[in-house]
Amino acid sequence: MRRAGLTTLAVVALALTTLPVAAATFDEAAALYQDKDYKAAYAIASGLANDGDARAEAMLGAMFQYGKGVDADLGQSIDWYTAAAKQGHVPAMFALSTIYLDGSKGHFDRAKAIEWSQKAADANYVPAMHNLGLIYAGGAGGEPDWPMAAHWFTKAAKKGFADAQYNLGILYAEGKGIEKNQVKAAEWYLRAALQGLSDAALDYGVMVFRGEGVQKNEEIGAKWLLVAARRGNPVAQNRVARLLAAGRGLPANPVEAMKWNLLASRAGRKDPELDAMLAKLDPAQRAEAETRAAAFTPEESKAN
């Protein structure tokens, strides 16, 4: 499964600064937080939090979790997030769920992760829906409950969450928790690929190239593989290198083939057979391929 939506700092900070606020003092704290003047933000937010302001409580939760303006203290972070969550602050609920999912700090609690994810999801918080899908897919150490995973991935996918669309595509492709359907798998892969997920572009490109769930078209399939390769996906880079070397779906181009092979190999996707095929290039071609590989910068995804 693609584990996304688990990073809380940006999510909570964004929610803190975009929610309507009535008190000017909290506006000031939020502005200082955005400007990364965390000590000044803390000076204001701590007073508000002690008076029971849920937004300020959530802000302190984030500050103690990540050591922004204060020493990192996950225990205090949990206390402040819990105070905010009990007042209905949805991003704080989500933050709590992610802390309880992450066992690296000794606070792993699958039941609490589900509880707070469920509350946030019930409040229509889409990342929490996706997290529930991950949990029920076995992402929190329990036995997978594939029908429940499919349920929550579907809810998040229908609301446009790219990672959930991709994971739902995987479930359709493998028939886990939902009836196997290659057409629907391709549909959800495409939706996620259009939002910038390289894994989705890779899998959709393979399906089109092979004619699985969609009409076979090697040229279109190869173009989707190239999209994934340009986004830095090493598996796609390897596939593109092979297609360029063979002239399938893309015009034969040994220098470009070597460039992509170098990038894939350096990312851990080694291919001795392709290395042997490209070893016949002359020194000038190899130098050009090295130059192109060195100049490569992955395209950024805008998904979620």
Instruction: Say how many domains are in the chain.
Output: 1
pTM of the model: 0.86
- The reported pLDDT for the residue numbered 108 is 87
pLDDT tens-place string over residues 241-281: 999 999 999 999 999 999 999 999 999 999 999 999 898 89
Main-chain phi, psi angles of 267, to 5 degrees: -90, 5
Per the domain annotation, does 138 fall within a domain? no
**SS3 annotation, the chain:** CCCCCCCCHHHHHHHHHHCCCCCHHHHHHHHHHHCCCHHHHHHHHHHHHHCCCHHHHHHHHHHHHHCCCCCCCHHHHHHHHHHHHHCCCHHHHHHHHHHHHCHHHCCCCHHHHHHHHHHHHHCCCHHHHHHHHHHHHHHCCCCCCHHHHHHHHHHHHHCCCHHHHHHHHHHHHHCCCCCCCHHHHHHHHHHHHHCCCHHHHHHHHHHHHHCCCCCCCHHHHHHHHHHHHHCCCHHHHHHHHHHHHHCCCCCCCHHHHHHHHHHHHHCCCCCHHHHHHHCCCCHHHHHHHHHHHHHCCCCCCCCC
Query: In this model, does residue 180 exceed pLDDT 50?
Result: yes
CATH for 257? 1.25.40.10
Mean pLDDT rounded to a whole number for the chain: 91
Per the domain annotation, does 53 fall within a domain? no
Per the domain annotation, does 275 fall within a domain? yes
Per the domain annotation, does 268 fall within a domain? yes
Per the domain annotation, does 210 fall within a domain? yes
pLDDT tens-place string over residues 52-100: 999 999 999 999 999 999 999 999 999 999 999 999 999 999 999 999 9
CA distance 103 to 109: 8
- The reported pLDDT for the residue numbered 207 is 98
Query: In this model, does residue 26 exceed pLDDT 90?
Result: no
CA distances from 154 to 34, 97, 101, 238 (A): 34, 20, 21, 31
Confidence of residue 4 (pLDDT cuts 50, 70, 90): low
Main-chain phi, psi angles of 107, to 5 degrees: -115, 20
- The reported pLDDT for the residue numbered 141 is 78
Domain of 273 in residue numbering reads as 194-304
Per the domain annotation, does 84 fall within a domain? no
- The reported pLDDT for the residue numbered 164 is 98
Per the domain annotation, does 253 fall within a domain? yes
CA distance 28 to 272: 59
Per the domain annotation, does 271 fall within a domain? yes
Residue pair 204/236 in contact (Cβ under 8 Å)? The answer is no
- The reported pLDDT for the residue numbered 90 is 97
Query: In this model, does residue 185 exceed pLDDT 90?
Result: yes
97: amino acid identity, one letter: S
CA distance 48 to 271: 59
